Structure 1
Amino acid sequence: MLAEKMSLLETRLRQIDWDDMAAQLAAGGAAMLPALLGADACSGLASLYPRDEAFRSRVVMARHGFGSGEYKYFAYPLPELVGRLRSRLYPGLASIANAWQAQLGIDARFPATLDDFLARCHAAGQLRPTPLLLRYGPGDYNCLHQDLYGEHVFPLQVAVLLSEPGRDFSGGEFVLTEQRPRMQSRVEVAPLRQGDAVVFAVNQRPVQGARGSYRVTMRHGVSRVREGQRHTLGIIFHDAQ
């Protein structure tokens, strides 16, 4: 069953149009990857949540003012499916991230492989894995935020919805906001179905203006869940201190 899931995942990863993704990200700071995971893979990942041995820590959002609901960070070694997603998505996203660096006039570049980037993180003391599972019940939500965990921050991350809207839960929309200089914030909702992924900017992204590129600040969150239970997989590429 795992081999079948991996084969299906590899097929979907090979079908990604990276030029189209770069264009979507340039236009709005987010890009959709429809049906990245199948229903069985989604259910299998969500079923890991009660198994504490798979995780390094649990965060109850209300205790920290993050919102309502909870999430768990995976421990190393990551589940095979999660590790495969992280390592296979990274190279294409690194190419986009490096184009952003050049557009913003930043000399630093991201390595071509996830292993090399994580080696850079670990050398700086960022040793803790950051992929996570989030669980929301009725009334839960996630405040607008940015996932910044240390000196080395990869500028893109991925969220995969593991539950099916309208069947498993209602409400709970994935929300992005963009703050441009001297302008009101712009809000966008990613229309996710089960297995869909959204790639989005972690912190800042470049926008081409009349006088060159400038930075806009991005934040993301989840609106209030009205009914049911919502699970999400988060793929963050930098590790944490």
Structure 2
Amino acid sequence: MNSAIAPFHEPASAVAQKRISRYDWVSLGADLDQHGSTAIEKLLTPEECRAIAALYPHEEHFRSHVHMARHGFGKGEYRYFKYPLPDIIAGLRTALYPRLAPIANRWNERLNDDTRYPAQHADFLKACHEAGQLRPTPLLLQYVPGDFNCLHQDLYGDLAFPLQVAILLSEPGRDFTGGEFVLTEQRPRMQSRAEVVPLRQGDAVIFAVHNRPVAGTRGDYRVNMRHGVSRLRSGIRHTVGIIFHDAK
């Protein structure tokens, strides 16, 4: 166990399972169906948030370092964790997936997509690895004044789980200003709709990676989702992203 970020008296996986089980997943699922996103309050403690953010300068935890401006992604930077993941991040990834897989399968059924996701994350990762998607995708993002993240979708190969999670590690108003999490939704023959998701330190947002179904007068139809972060005005902002598929 990495005691720097999981100082628990029991395994981080057990801690994550207990935390996940205390939330109302029927209500969270209904929010996802209606809006394409939902927030989970206080998923991490302030101490855990600070400990995870403190990993950022230590390259031994990461497989790559991306400067957004070099690739036209925006302005800011992030690092992809390498395997083995930090205990608490691995635990949350494993614990969240079984709650989200039924929602993902329901969405695909509504969209007439034959893809179905297994009940456990280990089985989904096995499918990713068999498809040549071997690199871990959880990441730690850092923004300083003037930084922003362009609207995008986190697709890394043929296999992509349709939901992902971002956890805010910094406290708005104290650690930074600006830097709001933004979602946009493009419906057929309509203008894009934008939504800002307010988060506090330790809060998580679950959101659609790519597409989601919306009920229309003639049945369900597919809408295209993107997400990003608005310009940071002051301070420093850290976020951890939990993506359930691995990358090529």
The TM-score range, normalised by the shorter chain, is over 0.9
- Secondary structure at 2:28's aligned position in 1? helix
| 2:61 paired residue number | 54
Deviations 1:74-108 (A, max 9, x none): 00000000000100000010010001111111122
| 1:202 paired residue number | 209
Q: Does 1:223 align with 2:230?
A: yes
Q: Does 1:27 align with 2:34?
A: yes
Query: What CA distance in whole angstroms lies between the structure 2 residues aligned with 1:142 and 1:108?
Result: 30
2:17–2:92: 8 Å Cα contact kept in structure 1?
Answer: no
Identity of aligned residues (%): 63
**2:164 paired residue among 145, 154, 157:** 157
2:137–2:246: 8 Å Cα contact kept in structure 1?
Answer: yes
Deviation of the 1:11 alpha carbon = 3.4
Count residues in correspondence: 241
- Secondary structure at 1:118's aligned position in 2? helix
Amino acid at match of 1:93: L
Query: What CA distance in whole angstroms lies between the structure 2 residues aligned with 1:228 and 1:125?
Result: 39
Q: Which moved more, 1:200-209 or 1:5-14?
A: 5-14
- What's the TM-score once normalised by structure 2's chain length? 0.95
| 2:131 paired residue number | 124
1:9–1:37: 8 Å Cα contact kept in structure 2?
Answer: no
Q: Does 1:2 align with 2:19?
A: no
Deviation of the 1:23 alpha carbon = 0.6
| 2:87 paired residue number | 80
Runs of 4 or more, structure 1, over 6 Å off, are none
- Secondary structure at 1:125's aligned position in 2? coil
Deviation of the 1:12 alpha carbon = 2.4
CA pair 177-240 structure 1, distance change in 2 beyond 3 A: same
Amino acid at match of 2:53: A
CA pair 117-9 structure 1, distance change in 2 beyond 3 A: closer
Unaligned runs of 5+ in 1: none
Query: What CA distance in whole angstroms lies between the structure 1 residues aligned with 2:232 and 2:113?
Result: 39
Query: What CA distance in whole angstroms lies between the structure 2 residues aligned with 1:138 and 1:19?
Result: 38
Deviation of the 1:8 alpha carbon = 5.7
Amino acid at match of 1:217: N
2:16–2:95: 8 Å Cα contact kept in structure 1?
Answer: no
Deviations 1:169-192 (A, max 9, x none): 000000000000011100000100
1:60-99 to 2 correspondences below 5 Å: 60-99=67-106
Amino acid at match of 1:110: Y
CA pair 58-165 structure 1, distance change in 2 beyond 3 A: same
